[in-house]
Each structure stands twice: as structure tokens, then as C-alpha cells.
Amino acid sequence: MLPRWIQFALATPVQFWVGRRFYVGGWKALRGGGANMDVLIALGTTMAYGLSAVVTLFGLLDQHVYFEASAVIITLVLMGKLLEARAKLGTSAAIEALIRLQPKTARVERDGVLVEVPVAGIQIGDIFVVRPGESIPVDGLVATGESGVDESMLTGESLPVDKHTGDKIFAGTLNQQGLLRCRAEGVGAATMLAGIIRLVREAQGTKAPIQRLADQVSGIFVPVVVAISALTFALWWGIGGELAPALVNAVAVLVIACPCALGLATPTAIMVGTGRGAQVGVLVKNAVALERAEKIRTLILDKTGTLTEGKPVVTDVLAAEGFSERELIMLAASLESGSAHPLAHAIVTHAQENNVQLTPIRDFRSVTGKGIQAVLDVPALGAEQQVALGAPAFLSESGAEVDTARIAPFVAQGKTVVGIAAGARIIGYLAIADKLRASSREAVGRLRGMGIDVVMLTGDNAATAKAIAGAAGVAEYRAQVLPGDKAAAVAEFKSAGQVVGMVGDGVNDAPALAAADVSFAIGAGSDVAIEAADIALMRSDLLSVVDAIRLSRATLSKIRQNLFFAFIYNVLGIPLAMAGMLNPVIAGAAMALSSVSVVSNSLLLRRWRRR
């Protein structure tokens, strides 16, 4: 054992220089009207150091000194802080990984020559080249070239996405195959990658409602611990009559208590959960939404673009006798070639995919909401004819005889039937449908398996709504619902006392998204919908909603585990310290490890996987 004066000399700088942060932190907390762990450490070690200093200075040889206890407690707590800080760095690993995705430089065309410039120097409109195996530096459009691009950092999907001229490309994604020549459209803070990083950082800085409990407990925790420590000191000194064990056990009570574990329980799990979500294409905008998503019991789905692809396609071509399907497509696409209507786009796209050449038209006339007419050459009739295209009712009004029995099966399937007539003669029908997404039925089944009631709202007619709902496995649906009525429907379900989620992708979904307890925007949707939503899903896939709710449940489970560990640690540790069963040094080590264990438990969320 070192002489007491040497112990005094060695312990003093540890107490007041190494341990200065505890005094500063404790004083700031007290000035702010609160108290924290720094107050407990400063008070406990000062008691041990102060008594030892008095004993040494006044030569009280019959009394013990506790210089080693105060110095070791400070050392162990700081080592715990170091381990905690290193562990907490892991909670922001997702952001760091996203930042590393963007390359430092890019090859940009300057006066016809490729020049390597810093990514920060790229301007909107610049032409840049991305070779196979390189990361795309900024958002843009493919000017020339074809390739497969790995967009897993955005969507969580491992399969590459084919890119052709005119397609969008995003900063941080990986060009895998061909050479791409692209035009910059979004640079700096305006890239999708920068937006994701910004959203994740903002979400990680928000508080979940469950954290209020921890905050309330922490607010009264330190004063209660100080009172318990004083009681411990009084009982041991009053009953035993000895100062040494009374001081040691009082210090142990102060040191074993760990309010910081309570403080870390929620934010560390939120940081890891939101970061992991960003890696799999689930962007959580705030911690409140992350907590509420776990409690969703009714999930309302928009039909178009959510359950379905959002892109109508021609599914059936029925040509009358004497006409070929190809000729029918040619006539329909020629009539619709100048229209921006979604059904017109489906017909023209179908013609392009089948390499059907269009024919000139004249005397074009449009009847709003019903159909169109024009004069064009009809090869099967060997002459020019006035051809009409539109809803069967429109053709009937024009004098054509519609075969309702022939088109009834398509109407029953929820498809839109377009008829084509040459003069008063029906020459064929096209059936057009917005196809159900391949994963929608599976997603609905999994949501129902999670105890969530699924409801579909759509502005379409009852037949289409029934067909899509049946195909997707949705038991409850409402048809012909206007955008304003969608918000009212959300409010109706909320009035029943349920936590209601809403999934949409269009501008007309924004009011309903805003009205829901938790709102999800499908990745292919509009900027307005994504802005209004609490959780943005980068994949155009309803299974992303399942992922988001599962991630919410996993994160809240971790928070509850952390809070349990923190509470049970203090509930067990403080009585043991009061009973004299914990040395202050061991108590300090246990306190440090409690914080590290909470952070480490949160880090296990990084193992969370999509199913």
C-alpha cells in the first residue's frame, strides 16, 4: 500500500482534472434546475476523496482512506463513456454508409473533352459519363447508353434496374454494365441521396412519445438517489456507529445509480431503427410515426398506384370478323396518338410494343368524357371511313350496335372496355386494366396476419373496385370515393378509437394522408404525397408497408427491452448497495457497463432483415 500522502498526490489530479467533466456537467445540470449522472459521480467521488483528504491532512491514522476508490470510479466511468461513445458511433453507421455512396469526383464533358472534376463542381445541365463499376455522382437523366443500375441503396432491392435513354438515375447508385452518358438534373443538396440523409438525420433527432416516460423518471431519479444515499449513510452510521462503512455504502448507492441508461434506452434504438430503415428503402420522417406504426389496427389503401401498377395496359383485343387484331390496334392508336389521357397512352404504348405503324387521320373531333372521332383509311374496308372510339354507351349514341354480352366478362373483371366503330358498324373492342401489383395479394395477406384490417378506397366504379379488391384479398372496400371523402373515411375509422394508417401515391391522396395517424407514400408517387406522408417508401411495392410496420415493432421492442434493463438494473443495484453488498469500485464498473449494454442492445437492430 502506498503512503497516504503519495495516494493523495496521485488522486488529486484524477479527481479534479480528469474528473473535471463531472463537476462541470453536474453544475450545468443544477443551474438548469435538474440533476444528472454527473451530479451523482461528482458527489460520490468527492465524498470519498474529501474524507480521505481530511484523514490524510489531519493525520487520523485510525481512519481508512478511499483515494483509490474515487480515482478508480472516475477512471471506470470514463472508460465506460468511451465504450458507450464507440458503440453510439455504430448507431449512425447507416448515415455514414449513405454518405460514402457518393463518389468524390466525376468525369464531365467540357468543350467536348472529358474532365475529372469534384462532384461539388457539377452543375445542372452538365453532361457526365459513368463507366461500368462506378457510382453515379448526381441525379440526372440518361442522355445516351444502356445499363443495369444497382439501386439497392434507395429501394433495398438487390436486382439491378435497366436504364435506357430518358430514364432517371440517382446519386450513389452503382452502374453495373454499360457506359452511360447522362445529364445532371439534381446536384448538391437537391439529390435524392442528400434528401435521404437529411430525412434520416432529422428523424434521429426527434423524440418518440415513449421517451417521455424515461424523461419523467430521469427528472426525479437523481434527487431520489441522493436521498437514498443520505438515508443509507444515516442508517449505517446510526446503527453501526462507524463512519467508514457508512461512507462506502452511501458512495456505492450514488455510483451504482445510472440515469443515463434510461436516457439512452429510446434515442439509440430510434437512431439504429431509422438508419436501418433507410438502408432498406423505408424513410421514417419522425420518431412519433415510428412508434405509432406499431399500433396500426386499420390500414387504408388507395387503389391506383398502391394496390395496382398505376399504369393502364391493354389486356385484351377483340376484333370483329374480317378485321385483324393488328389492324384494330392500328386504328385505335392512330386515333389516340395526340391524346394525353392514360387510356390513350395505354393504347399507343401497346401499338409501339407490337411495332404497329400508325396511319394519318383528319377531321378529328373529341367529345369530352365520351370518346373521339376522325376520318382515316380502314384497310379491311378498302376506303376511308369515319371511325369512332370510346365507351360503349358513346358508340350506341352514335348509332352503332354494341354487343353487351361479349364485353360483359371484361366489365365484371373491372376492366375498362373501349369500342371502335367504322360508321355504324362495331369493328372491335379493347379491354384496358390497371394491373394488380405482383406482390399486392401477398402484402395484404401478411398485413391481415399481423392483425391489421385492410380497407381499399377508390374513385373507380363498383365493378372495378370489387374486381381489384377480390384479386388482392381485401375484404372491405369503398368505390367512387372522391379525394375529400377519403379524408372523411380516415376520420370515420379514427373515430372508432383505432390507430389508422393510410397508404397512397397521388396528389389526390394528400388530404387522406394528412388525416391518418400514420401515413405512407409509395415511392413512385407524387412529391406532394411523399411530402404529406410520415413514412416514405422508396420501393413501389406494398410489401414495403409490411417492412415499415415490422421495423416499427422491432424498434419498439428494443426500446422496451432497454427500458426494462435500465429499470431492473437500478431496482436491483440500489438495494444491494444500501445493504453493503457492493464495493463502490464494482458499482462504478457496473454503472458504466449498464449504459454500454443498452447501446449494444440497440445496435442489434442492425441485424433486422426484410422478409
CB-based burial label for 104 (10 Å; 0-12, 13-18, 19+): exposed
Quote the pLDDT of residue 561: 92
Cα–Cα distance, 339 to 178 (Å, whole number)? 34
Give the best-scoring range by mean pLDDT among 151-155, 371-375, 567-571, 585-589.
371-375
Q: Give yes or no for residue 258 having a pLDDT over 70.
A: no
Phi, psi of 174 (to 5 degrees): -110, 120
CATH topology of domain 104-190: 2.70.150
Predicted local confidence at residue 87, as pLDDT:
60
Share of the chain above pLDDT 70, in %: 89
The tally of CA atoms less than 13 A away on the side-chain side of residue 224 is 12
At 259, the pLDDT band (50, 70, 90 cuts) reads low
Query: Residues 240-254: what's their mean pLDDT?
Result: 81
The confidence score (pLDDT) of residue 91 equals 57
Average pLDDT, the chain: 84
First-residue to last-residue Cα distance in the chain: 61
In the chain, CATH 3.40.1110.10 covers 313-433
Contact predicate 533/508, CB 8 Å: no
Comparing CA positions, the residue from 47, 108, 111 lying closest to residue 73 is: 47
Contacts of 580 (CB under 8 A, 6+ apart): 236, 245, 248, 249, 252
- In which band, very low, low, confident or very high, does the pLDDT at 365 lie, cut at 50, 70 and 90? confident
Q: Answer whether residue 94 shows pLDDT above 70.
A: no
Q: What is the pTM of this model?
A: 0.75
For residues 64 and 371, the model is more confident at 371
368 has a pLDDT exceeding 80: no
Fold of 297-309+437-516: Rossmann fold (3.40.50)
What Rg do the C-alpha atoms of the chain give, in angstroms?
A: 34
Average of pLDDT values for 89-95?
63
Q: Which of 7-16, 58-67, 193-202, 240-249 is the least confident region?
A: 58-67
pLDDT at 385: 85
The predicted model gives 176-186 an average pLDDT of 90
Residue 445 has pLDDT above 80, yes or no: yes
Residues of the chain with CATH 3.40.50.1000: 297-309+437-516
Superfamily designation of domain 313-433 = Calcium-transporting ATPase, cytoplasmic domain N (3.40.1110.10)
pLDDT tens per residue, range 105-149: 999 998 888 999 999 999 999 999 999 889 999 999 999 999 888
Check if the beta carbon of residue 417 is closer than 8 Å to that of residue 410: yes
pLDDT of amino acid 404: 87
Residues acting as catalytic residues: 302
Share of residues in the chain with pLDDT > 90 (%): 25
Q: From the CB of residue 152, how many other CB atoms can be counted at a distance below 10 Å?
A: 17
The mean per-residue pLDDT over the stretch 543-547 comes to 93
Compute the distance between CA of residue 166 and CA of residue 140 in angstroms, rounded to an integer: 9
State the span(s) of the chain assigned CATH 2.70.150.10.
104-190
Q: What is the average pLDDT across 56-84?
A: 74
Q: Which amino acid is at 73?
A: I
Does residue 525 surpass a pLDDT of 60?
no
Residue 416's pLDDT band, with cuts at 50, 70 and 90, is confident
Written as one letter, the residue type at 18 is V
* Among candidate residues 157, 151, 186, the one with its CA nearest the CA of residue 172: 151
| Mean pLDDT value of segment 514-535 | 74
Q: How confident is the model at residue 570 (pLDDT cuts 50, 70, 90)?
A: confident
Using CA atoms in the order 401, 404, 406, 412, what is the torsion angle rounded to 10 degrees? 150
35 vs 429 pLDDT, higher one:
429
pLDDT band at 99 (very low <50, low <70, confident <90, very high): confident
Which carries the bigger pLDDT value, residue 90 or residue 313? Answer: 313
Q: Are 477 and 459 in contact (CB under 8 A)?
A: no
